[in-house]
Amino acid sequence: MKSPANSASLIRQMDDAHARTLALIEGLSPQQLIGPMLPTVNPLLWEIGHVAYFYEFWVLREHLGQSPIRADADDLYDSITIAHDDRWELPLPGLPDTLTYIDAVFKHVKEALVAGEDAQRDYLAQYAVFHHDMHNEAFTYTRQTLGYPAPALPATPTPEESADGLSGDVSIPGGHFMLGATEQDGFVFDNEKWAHPVEVEPFRIARTAVSNGEYLAFVEAGGYQDRSWWSEEGWQWLQQSNLQMPVYWRQQASGWQLHRFTDWIDLPLAAALIHVSWHEAQAYCQWAGRRLPSELEWEVAAAAEPNTDGLGLATNKRHFPWGDEQPNPQLANLDSRALGTIDVNACAAGDSAFGCRQMIGNVWEWTADTFGPFPGFVPDMYEDYSQPLFGITKVLRGGAWTTRGRMIRNTWRTYYGPDRNDVFAGFRTCAL
C-alpha cells in the first residue's frame, strides 16, 4: 500500500481542515448549530463531532486498538447505526464539550502519526482528512440551505478571468481509454478502483460548463412550465418542488437575482450555473438539443490526450486536466477562494488537452450515468462509503468552488440523488 503522505503533511492537513470547520461554524448560535430537521442536512453540532469520531474510530480504535475517548461516542456519532432523523434527538454535548472532544481526538491521532512508520495508519488518517474535507463542503451548503450568513473564510486570491469568451464544443476522437484510478495515483477511494479498458466513441463536448446566462434563456423561454422538456420523473419532481426557476433565483423589477447565503445579488450571467438538480440539467439539455456527457466521456475530456496524429487517444492520462501540477488559483477555482462560482471563461491555464475549461473546480458537473461499481469492485474498510448509493444516485465529477484542492483529481467520483438542488452542482453538455 502506498502511503498517501508523510506524518508532518497529514498533521498539517488535519489542522487546516479543523481550522476550516471552526470558520464554518463561527458566529452560529446554539439553535443554529442544531437547526431544523431536513432530509438534506445534519445538525451541525452533531456533524462536527461525527467528523472527529471518524478519525478516532478508524485510526485509534480499529487500527491501533485504543479505548474510546468518550464512552458514549458510538451512541452519539456513529452515522451507520444512528438514523438521520434521530440525530436531532440525541443528548449531544454543547459546543465547548464537543470542541474538547475534538481536541482530544486530534491530540491522540497526532501522537500516533509521529510514532514510527505505519502505512495503514497513514492511509486511514488520509481517509479521515478527506472525509473531513467532504463534511466541510457539506457544512458550507448547510449554511446556504438554512439561510445562515456567509462563512468568514480566510481571504485568498481568486482566479483571474480570461478575456476570451469561450463558446462551442471541442471534438474528441474515439479510442481506447483506461477509466478509473491506478495504484500509481496514490490514495483513491473504492469507487475509483480500478482503471479498466473501455472504448469511447468520438464525441463533441462543450468547452465550458453552462453559465447562468445560458440557463436563464431556458427559464425565460418557459422551460419550467413546458412539460415536453422534462422526463416523467423530472416533471413529478418539478411539481412537488413547485419551482418556476432554480431554487436560489428570483426575478425583480430591476432584473434577475441570486440568493447567496443571506444576500441577494445581481445574477452573475457569466458565472457557472450552480444549485440545479439532475432533472433540471436533463430538461435544459432537451430544450437545447443537447445531452449530458457520460462519466466516461467526462473523464476522457478531462484526462486524455490526443495521439500525435490526432486520430485517436494517447496512452498517457493526466492526473488533472492541465497535467500533474497541484491546483493553484490560476488553474482552478477551489478551496472557497471565491464565495460562489466564477466566470466560466476564467482559469485558461487549467484547460484540458482538448481545450475544456474548469473541469476541476467551480462547480460539480452532473453526468448522465447512474452511480455504480467498476468491474471487480471491492469495498474499502468503510464499507458504506459507496455501495449503499449504487443504483440510486447520479455521478458528478470535477469538484466545486468549495472543494479542497488537496483531494480532487480527474478520477474522483461523487454522487447525489437526481433531485438534489441544494449541493454545489451544475453541468456541461455534449452534442447529440
Retrieve residue 45's grid coordinates: 453540532
Supply φ then ψ for residue 74, to 5 degrees. Answer: -65, -40
Retrieve residue 146's grid coordinates: 438554512
The Cβ-side half-sphere exposure at 226, using a 13 Å CA radius, reads 12
CATH domain 7-145 topology: Four Helix Bundle (Hemerythrin (Met), subunit A) (1.20.120)
User: Rounded to an integer, what distance in angstroms lies between the CA atom of residue 280 and that of residue 212?
Assistant: 13
Supply φ then ψ for residue 313, to 5 degrees. Answer: -105, 135
What pLDDT, on the 0 to 100 scale, is given for residue 29?
Answer: 98
Structural contact between residues 50 and 102, judged by C-beta atoms closer than 8 angstroms:
no
What pLDDT, on the 0 to 100 scale, is given for residue 167?
Answer: 84
What pLDDT, on the 0 to 100 scale, is given for residue 158?
Answer: 63
What pLDDT, on the 0 to 100 scale, is given for residue 266?
Answer: 97
Cα–Cα–Cα angle for 320, 321, 323, rounded to 5 degrees: 60
Residue type, 78: D
What pLDDT, on the 0 to 100 scale, is given for residue 154?
Answer: 72
What radius of gyration, in Å, describes the C-alpha atoms of the chain?
22
What pLDDT, on the 0 to 100 scale, is given for residue 3?
Answer: 45
User: Rounded to an integer, what distance in angstroms lies between the CA atom of residue 357 and that of residue 352?
Assistant: 7
Delimit the CATH 1.20.120.450 region(s) of the chain. 7-145
User: Rounded to an integer, what distance in angstroms lies between the CA atom of residue 99 and that of residue 25?
Assistant: 12
User: Rounded to an integer, what distance in angstroms lies between the CA atom of residue 52 and that of residue 314?
Assistant: 43
Please report the beta strands in 188-307, taking only residues with DSSP state E, as ranges in sequence order: 196-200, 203-206, 249-252, 255-260, 263-266, 290-291, 304-306
Delimit the CATH 3.90.1580.10 region(s) of the chain. 156-432
Residue type, 289: G
Helix (H, G, I), strand (E, B) or coil at 258: strand
Residue type, 222: G
Structural contact between residues 389 and 415, judged by C-beta atoms closer than 8 angstroms:
yes
| Sign (positive or negative) of CA dihedral 214, 418, 394, 135 | positive
pLDDT tens over the chain, length 432 residues: 344 589 999 999 999 999 999 999 999 999 999 999 999 999 999 999 999 999 999 999 999 999 999 999 999 999 999 999 999 999 999 999 999 999 999 999 999 999 999 999 999 999 999 999 999 999 999 999 999 999 998 766 666 565 567 789 999 999 999 999 999 999 999 999 999 999 999 999 999 999 999 999 999 999 999 999 999 999 999 999 999 999 999 999 999 999 999 999 999 999 999 999 999 999 999 999 999 999 999 999 999 999 988 789 999 999 999 999 999 999 999 999 999 999 999 999 999 999 999 999 999 999 999 999 999 999 999 999 999 999 999 999 999 999 999 999 999 999 999 999 999 999 999 999
What pLDDT, on the 0 to 100 scale, is given for residue 157?
Answer: 63
Helix (H, G, I), strand (E, B) or coil at 398: coil
Indicate the helix (H) or strand (E) that contains 30: helix 30-34
**Burial of 90 (C-beta count, 10 Å sphere; 0-12/13-18/19+):** middle
User: Rounded to an integer, what distance in angstroms lies between the CA atom of residue 368 and that of residue 371?
Assistant: 10
Residue in 4, 19, 25 with CA at minimum distance from that of residue 128: 4
Regarding the domain with residue range 156-432, which homologous superfamily does it belong to in the CATH classification? paralog of FGE (formylglycine-generating enzyme) (3.90.1580.10)
